Structures are given as C-alpha cells and as structure tokens.
Amino acid sequence: MSRKYSLASIREVWLNAYLNGDAGWLDYLEAPCFIVVNGLTLVSKAEQIAFLERSRQKFQGGRNGDFSFTQTVHVTLERESWATVVGSFVSSRNGRQLSNCDFSEFWISTEGNWRIASLYLRDKSGAAET
C-alpha cells in the first residue's frame, strides 16, 4: 500500500504533539483504540485528550521552564500494516531529570495512513512501578 508520509515523518509529528500536549494533532494521529501503558497505569485516548484539555485551560501560558527531551530509537520494525518502534528517552526540566524510560510503540496502517495504537513506558528508575 502506498503511503503519502513515512512512518518516521508521522512519528516525528506525533512525538512533537505528544511532548507539547497538542490535543488536536494527537486526536488525529492516534488510533481510536490508542492506549498508554505506564507501569500499572493505563490511560485511554479519551482520558489523555480530556487531561490535555483541562491542563491547557489551567496553564494557558504553556510549559514552564527549560524542557529537554532526548530519545534513542533502538529498533524500528516496519511491515505492510503495522510497525513497532522500541527505544529509550530521558526528559528534564531546568536541569532536573523528570523521567528516564524505555518505550515501545505499536503503529497500525489504516487507509494508507500511520496511526499509533499503543505506547508502553517502563520507568528505568523504578519510580513508576509499585
């Protein structure tokens, strides 16, 4: 199947929207079944979008502080109708580490477009796992 945009380019747009809390782009790029699994916590697409909308109303000035995000993609496996991306990332604000996680993404191709179906996070510090 021919796609207008590559997985890498769609993933870059999604990651930017995810990091910046852009609910409109997330709603478009995430599959209806999208879920985030972070340790024992599950967050659906609807819950994620609702949280972002509430946060945007509460913090109208946007993100405060010097935010840094560095990721390393270890493996990308792309097939005709699905793909996985596995890696790790570190995020920090004002020089203080916020998270250090491994991640796994599962992408599906629908109607010639890539949509992310799930994001699995594992906090390497163990703080998120109880």
Q: What is the CATH number of the domain that holds 116?
A: 3.10.450.50
Going by the DSSP 8-state scheme, the letter that residue 120 receives in this structure is E
**Given this model, what pLDDT does residue 113 score?**
93
SS3 111: coil
Q: What strands lie across the sheet with 113-123, from one edge to the other?
A: 41-44, 30-38, 113-123, 96-110, 82-93, 67-78
Q: Provide the pLDDT confidence category of residue 55 given band limits of 50, 70 and 90.
A: confident
Render 73-89 in DSSP notation, one character per residue.
Answer: EEEEEE-SSEEEEEEEE
| Residue 75 covered by a domain | yes
* Confidence check: pLDDT of 122 > 80: yes
Residue 67 forms beta bridges with which residues? 93
| Residue 69 covered by a domain | yes
Q: Provide the pLDDT confidence category of residue 62 given band limits of 50, 70 and 90.
A: low
107: left (phi over 0), alpha (psi -120 to 50) or beta: beta
Q: What rounded mean pLDDT belongs to the chain?
A: 88
| Residue 102 covered by a domain | yes
Domain range enclosing 82: 7-123
Position 11, amino acid: R
| Residue 88 covered by a domain | yes
| Residue 130 covered by a domain | no
Count of domains observed in the chain: 1
| Residue 1 covered by a domain | no
| Residue 57 covered by a domain | yes
